[in-house]
């Protein structure tokens, strides 16, 4: 038996190495590759999308914008150019889901604080109440880092347009009131090419963990 093993040891060694390499290649080929979808208006709940864009099924990107942040600085698309970012909609006097959403977005801020590719952007849906001074007080209360996270206010019509035509994330309010909005719990993940890549429930820890994972995935793409 020993003599047979010695005689064929080279062949057996080569066969084992070949088998290991073959199994590894099969594993790599069959292992599912992580991907994130690219969302267009036609892919999303119509309640969250303006009727004028609901038919769009490809090439959707976030439109240019111009708002004012908690420091009175004008924030535009150029401030987010080439960045991955998380967008959401809130208002400072909201006593239901907003505090939890903001606290969870603070956890996202902690996770991306040293990642120069990632930022955060929160839009008020009540700009008539949420002035620059009010947003600044809210930012201080919740530990907002001005370099990473902008809380913005501006013209209500423009915020409405961004919410429903770009981010696909806000419901209509009272039909009788023009540009009335009911913000949702959605956090919207936008990639460096201004495409919507994911929606996450901002009140749920498991969704926040998934959001952070997906941010890291996009950062390393």
What is the rounded CA–CA span in Å between residue 126 and residue 88? Answer: 13
Known binder of ligand: residue 6?
no
Known binder of ligand: residue 98?
yes
Known binder of ligand: residue 94?
yes
What is the rounded CA–CA span in Å between residue 41 and residue 51? Answer: 9
What is the rounded CA–CA span in Å between residue 62 and residue 125? Answer: 18
Closest by alpha carbon to 133, among 184, 90, 70? Answer: 70
Are 56 and 42 contacting, i.e. CB atoms less than 8 angstroms apart? yes
* Angle 214-217-221 from CA coordinates, rounded to 5°: 140
Are 102 and 92 contacting, i.e. CB atoms less than 8 angstroms apart? no
What is the rounded CA–CA span in Å between residue 44 and residue 10? Answer: 60
Sorted by sequence, the CB contacts under 8 Å of residue 52 that are 6+ apart come out as: 165
Binding site for Cu cation: which residues?
94, 98, 183
């Amino acid at each position: 038996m020993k003599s047979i093993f010695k005689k064929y040891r080279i062949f057996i060694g080569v066969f084992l190495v070949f088998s290991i390499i073959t199994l590894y290649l099969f594993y790599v080929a069959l292992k599912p590759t992580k991907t994130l979808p690219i969302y267009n208006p036609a892919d999303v709940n119509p309640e969250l999308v303006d009727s004028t864009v609901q038919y769009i099924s490809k090439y959707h990107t976030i439109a240019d914008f111009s708002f004012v942040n908690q420091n009175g600085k004008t924030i535009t698309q150029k401030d987010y150019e080439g960045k991955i970012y998380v967008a959401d909609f809130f208002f400072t006097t909201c006593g239901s889901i907003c505090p939890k959403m903001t606290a969870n977005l603070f956890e996202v801020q902690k996770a991306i604080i040293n990642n120069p590719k990632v930022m955060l952007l929160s839009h008020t849906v009540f700009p008539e109440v949420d002035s620059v001074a009010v947003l600044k007080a809210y930012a201080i209360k919740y530990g907002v880092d001005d370099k990473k996270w902008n809380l913005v206010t501006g013209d209500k019509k423009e915020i409405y347009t961004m919410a429903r035509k770009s981010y696909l994330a806000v419901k209509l309010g009272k039909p009788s009131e023009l540009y009335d909005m009911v913000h949702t719990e959605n956090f919207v993940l936008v990639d460096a090419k201004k495409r919507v890549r994911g929606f996450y429930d901002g009140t749920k820890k498991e969704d926040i963990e998934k959001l952070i994972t997906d941010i890291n995935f996009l950062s390393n793409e």
